[in-house]
Structure 1
Amino acid sequence: MASPSDHKYSSNADKNANQSNGHIQPNESRRYNPWGFENPWSHGLCNFHGRIPNFRNNPDCSTNLTQREEFQRARVIEIFPSLAQEHLRLFSLAEGTAVFDTIVNLTAAGNLHVDIVVVASVVVNPISGARLGKGKGYGDIKYAMMRQLGACDDGTLVVTTVHESQLLDDLPSSVMTEHDLPVNVVITPQRIIYTQKKISYPKFINWDRIDNDTMLNLPVLKEFKRLQQLQPEKLN
């Protein structure tokens, strides 16, 4: 187990962004090439452009998580879709843990408590728990939806599994808004890190931030909005 102060990782991504022609903002630079590696494959990373990075030894993250007492106590977990978390999904099912999917069963979400949420990250600050995903906000939206349905609360552990090279101590908390999801726990193939998590969880969906593209890619939002209209006292 490691504490947040055990890390000395940083990135030159913002320097690269500052030298750009102005079309790439610092956050986007970190998503595009967050580590500043000329050859990410030599670090065990693959399939990282425009997506959540996958890496060769990500099954070790599954082992590290499933050996923790928090996982062994958990009755229900939710793993947001990502190739890097696919092994964890299969491992959890093999261990007999219920893996819930809010998108598949929206109405059931209000009748259970999710003990652990596993969210994908492109980069994460192991001290503050701030993280960046692909930039579409789907994981943040799903969590906020679960929160409004009552499926999770402040007692729900929010975990991300990443390669060591995805840890960035210099990722500022300012990249997070009130609708972005931070994490309590960062798991790498080598260790488990409990963050200080001084950033609040999102508690509701901000419909002003939901565009047509998001509605098309997350059709469950249409059903959730219908439920909101039917149960405004519960879901608003």
Structure 2
Amino acid sequence: MPDIDQAKMALRETVWRRLVDARVVPPDSYGKIPSFDGADAATERLAELAAWRTASTVKANPDNAQLSVRVRALEDGKLLYMAVPKMATLEPFFLLDPTALSVSATEVADKKSTAQTAQRVGVDAMRPIDIVVCGSVAVNRSGARLGKGAGYSDLEVALLIEAGLVTDETVIVAPVHRLQVIGDEIPETRHDFSVDVILTPDEAIECGNRRRPDGLVWADLTADKIAAIPALRARQR
């Protein structure tokens, strides 16, 4: 695991440097899921997918890079689940219902506004997810991806798989800048999932070799990680 972690971090560092040097992300993007030039165009690519048009539920991360996706989901009338940062509460997702908004979709989809106003829900109160939109630092064309290294996206998806809410019918997508699509092999652990479609401002890339865990891989979770995430503590076997 340490060797895999080091290899992943080296790839992240390379991509962060490439993005900052190209001036297509904010200069403080190191260590983050980066906002990128053309994010709105990548969202338009997403909205063109048949899977998006038929979806009624979307799960997204709270990163600024996915703000336009969250706004578009609400504007298109889709029920939106947004991860609570660091899965820090027993109910680790925010629920945003487009039929019950008291302010604009742009305002409510901002992570600060969501944290102040949205209802928190646990997996037992959620509907099956049609599309998962995952923030990524890097992806390759086989669908392997890298987040920023904390592992929360992987745990969120594993938790939703275990609860039967992410299924074989769920489509997982990654909106990124073209410079985040790399040719390198990305090492993976048992909790890592692949994406089905990569969306850049210029193209939609269909990925093969779908890989997803069957659920939470308890043997790979440290006692400290379980202790820090209430939803895991509650489900610990």
TM-score, normalization: structure 1?
0.75
- Give the structure 1 partner of residue 133 of structure 2: 118
Alignment equivalent of 1:139, drawn from 153, 166, 174: 153
Residues 123, 167 of structure 1: 8 Å contact kept: yes
Go from structure 1 to structure 2 and tell me whether the alpha carbon gap of 1:63 and 1:212 turns closer, same or farther (over 3 Å shift). same
- Give the structure 1 partner of residue 62 of structure 2: 81
Q: Per-residue displacement from partner, 1:68-111 (whole Å, max 9, x unpaired)?
A: 221010011111221111121112111111112462311213xx
Residues 75, 97 of structure 1: 8 Å contact kept: yes
The structure with the largest alpha-carbon Rg is 1
Secondary structure of 2:66's counterpart equals helix
Q: Please identify runs of 4+ aligned residues in structure 1 that moved more than 6 A.
A: none
Alignment equivalent of 1:66, drawn from 43, 47, 58: 47
Within 5 A, what are the aligned runs for 1:126-205? 126=141, 128-172=142-186, 175-196=187-208, 198-205=209-216
Residues 122, 131 of structure 1: 8 Å contact kept: yes
How many angstroms apart in 2 are the aligned matches of 1:60 and 1:214? Answer: 36
Q: Per-residue displacement from partner, 1:14-70 (whole Å, max 9, x unpaired)?
A: xxxxxxxx9x93321111232653x72534122421111111321111111112221
Go from structure 1 to structure 2 and tell me whether the alpha carbon gap of 1:97 and 1:60 turns closer, same or farther (over 3 Å shift). same
Q: Per-residue displacement from partner, 1:143-182 (whole Å, max 9, x unpaired)?
A: 010011110111110101100000012224xx01221011
* Amino acid of the structure 2 residue aligned with 1:125: N
1:45 equivalent to 2:31? Answer: no
* Amino acid of the structure 2 residue aligned with 1:108: A
How far residue 191 of structure 1 moved from its aligned partner, in angstroms, is 1.0
Go from structure 1 to structure 2 and tell me whether the alpha carbon gap of 1:91 and 1:218 turns closer, same or farther (over 3 Å shift). farther
TM-score, normalization: structure 2?
0.75
How many angstroms apart in 2 are the aligned matches of 1:195 and 1:73? Answer: 20
Q: Percent identity?
A: 29
Secondary structure of 2:31's counterpart equals coil
How many angstroms apart in 1 are the aligned matches of 2:30 and 2:223? Answer: 24
CA RMSD of aligned residues (A): 2.2
* Amino acid of the structure 2 residue aligned with 1:57: G
- Give the structure 1 partner of residue 15 of structure 2: 34
- How many residue pairs match? The answer is 197
Unpaired runs of at least 5, structure 1: 1-21, 230-236
- Give the structure 1 partner of residue 234 of structure 2: 223
